[in-house]
Amino acid sequence: MSNPSTWLKFGLFSVGLGQSFAFVLVPPLARDLGLSVIETSTIFSISAVAWAITSASWGRASDKYGRRNIAVIGLIGYSVSIIALITPLFLVEQKILDLVYLLPLLILGRLINGLIGSATRPAAFAYMADISERSKRTKKFARLESSFLIGTIMGPMIGGFLFLYSKSLPFYMFAFCGFVAAVGIFISFPKNIILKKNADNVISNISYLDKAVWPFLFIAALSSLCQASLLQSIGFFITDIFSTEKDLPLVISLVFVVLAISTVVSQYIFTDLKPIKNNTLLIYGTFLLTISYIMAALASSIALFYLAMMINGFGGGMFRPANASSLSLAQTPDNQGKAAGYLGSVIPIGHVLTPIIAMPIYQFGPQYLYFFSASLCFISLLFIIGHPLLRDHEQTSAITN
């Protein structure tokens, strides 16, 4: 494991482990101890806002201070946040800590992840852009995404097994994995990295509003809102629409597994095994996402809903690495960290806006939310087809030998 890329993938895998298990376990534990649903959701919303604010700064910092240093800081921040998030819950449960301190301590623990843990992703993707050929950029980015997604799949599975031995053991183990990844990155990274400088149609300095940046952020923001509203509504939707199903918790868990696995498979097929140009991936991926939300809204059985989620995973597996790669390819080598940071700051937007926009729509009717998401994806599809940068820019993931 002397390859820095391997350690970066392990680091993102570790983050996926802790993030998914925290989303699964922390809300019910907090509710059992006396916190309301709104208070519990506030914990994660504040973290998402902090992530959105700081991600771009960490990307710029990685350009200035090095990918290795910023990635290490991010993983340490993530590991500390996992420990800081779960420890107050068990202290209150053991009656060592008063309940009045629970909410502020949980917010603090999650805030550490938003402020510091947000450093890992932009540094990792910027490093991959530094060392990869343009023709292989999407493939490399997809593998990073897959590492995180596999972690999100394995988190509840591994965590659930460890939970049988001790409630706190999964969190401390996942935090330990983060620390190990940080050490591995620190040791394995080369001191100097030769940057690729053969980019075409690039600019020397960038901002959110730059013409070679904002189109990618716009479609990423729409995708973020759709994905976040889906993830936060799946449990409610299945409970409300398919209430006659047996073992509803298992049914809900399997939806997440189907969604994650189909995303990983899609990324492998269309960026590795049978690579497709980025602009084509963006169009096909967004089209599949649109269809999946319509199918989910109209699903008359849990089997059809599973099929909709499988198609959604395939669409997301095409869209996300293609969009990240396209943004990267449009920048100069010295702006890779900034670009990755800007994209990272857009990703949490969906989690911030879902309680404000998506959930009120859901209250009018569960199906209306997925029709709304389908309309956003359709707008994104039209934008991708119509915008000259997304349509004409040299964005190929085709591997040349």
Q: Are residues 120 and 223 in the same domain?
A: no
The model's pTM is 0.76
Q: Are residues 30 and 167 in the same domain?
A: yes
Residues 282, 32: Cα–Cα separation, whole Å = 43
Q: For 2, which DSSP code?
A: -
Residues 266, 79: Cα–Cα separation, whole Å = 30
Q: Are residues 373 and 320 in the same domain?
A: yes
Residues 179, 170: Cα–Cα separation, whole Å = 14
CB 365, CB 359: distance < 8 Å: no
CB 396, CB 278: distance < 8 Å: yes
- Assigned domain for 374 exists: yes
Q: Are residues 280 and 332 in the same domain?
A: yes
- Assigned domain for 298 exists: yes
What pLDDT, on the 0 to 100 scale, is given for residue 392?
A: 63
Provide the H-helix boundaries in 209-277. 214-241, 248-268
CB 198, CB 329: distance < 8 Å: no
CATH of the domain at 64: 1.20.1250.20
The helix/strand/coil state of 243 is coil
CA angle (186 as vertex; 13, 55 as ends), nearest 5: 60
Q: Are residues 183 and 40 in the same domain?
A: yes
Please report where in the chains the tokens 């399997």 appear, as a residue.
254
- Concatenating the DSSP letter of every residue in 332-345 gives -GGGHHHHHHHHHH
- Assigned domain for 331 exists: yes
Q: Are residues 182 and 249 in the same domain?
A: no
What pLDDT, on the 0 to 100 scale, is given for residue 195?
A: 45
Q: What is the number of domains present in the chain?
A: 2
Q: Are residues 184 and 258 in the same domain?
A: no
Distances in Å between the alpha carbon of 320 and those of 40, 298, 355? 28, 25, 23
Displacement of CA 390 from its chain's centroid (Å): 22
- Give tens-digit pLDDT for 220-263: 999 989 988 887 788 788 888 888 877 776 787 788 788 888 98
Q: Are residues 308 and 177 in the same domain?
A: no
Residues 59, 208: Cα–Cα separation, whole Å = 13
- Assigned domain for 125 exists: yes
- Assigned domain for 205 exists: no
Q: Are residues 115 and 169 in the same domain?
A: yes
Residues 6 or more apart whose Cβ sits within 8 Å of residue 216: 323, 326, 327, 330, 343, 390
Residues 6 or more apart whose Cβ sits within 8 Å of residue 82: 18, 22, 109, 113, 171, 174, 175, 178
Q: Are residues 165 and 107 in the same domain?
A: yes
Residues 194, 6: Cα–Cα separation, whole Å = 19
Residues 6 or more apart whose Cβ sits within 8 Å of residue 311: 262, 288, 291, 292, 295
pLDDT tens string, the chain, 401 residues long: the values are 568 888 998 999 999 888 877 776 777 777 778 877 667 777 877 888 888 888 888 888 888 888 899 999 999 999 999 999 889 988 888 888 888 888 899 999 989 998 999 899 888 888 888 887 777 777 787 788 778 878 877 777 788 778 778 878 888 999 999 999 999 999 988 765 544 444 444 444 677 778 888 899 999 999 989 988 887 788 788 888 888 877 776 787 788 788 888 988 888 888 777 777 888 899 999 999 999 999 999 999 999 999 999 999 999 988 988 888 888 888 877 777 778 788 888 877 887 788 788 888 988 888 999 999 999 999 999 999 988 887 665 544 333 33
Q: Which H or E run includes 315?
A: helix 302-329
246: containing domain: 214-392
Q: Are residues 342 and 233 in the same domain?
A: yes
Q: Are residues 299 and 162 in the same domain?
A: no
- Assigned domain for 400 exists: no
CB atoms within 10 A of CB 163: 16
- Assigned domain for 209 exists: no
- Assigned domain for 399 exists: no
- Concatenating the DSSP letter of every residue in 68-80 gives HHHHHHHHHHHHH
Q: What token pair was written down for 78?
A: 């993530």
| Burial status of residue 325 (CB atoms within 10 A of its CB: 0-12, 13-18, 19 or more) | buried
Residues 6 or more apart whose Cβ sits within 8 Å of residue 328: 125, 129, 137, 141, 336, 339, 340
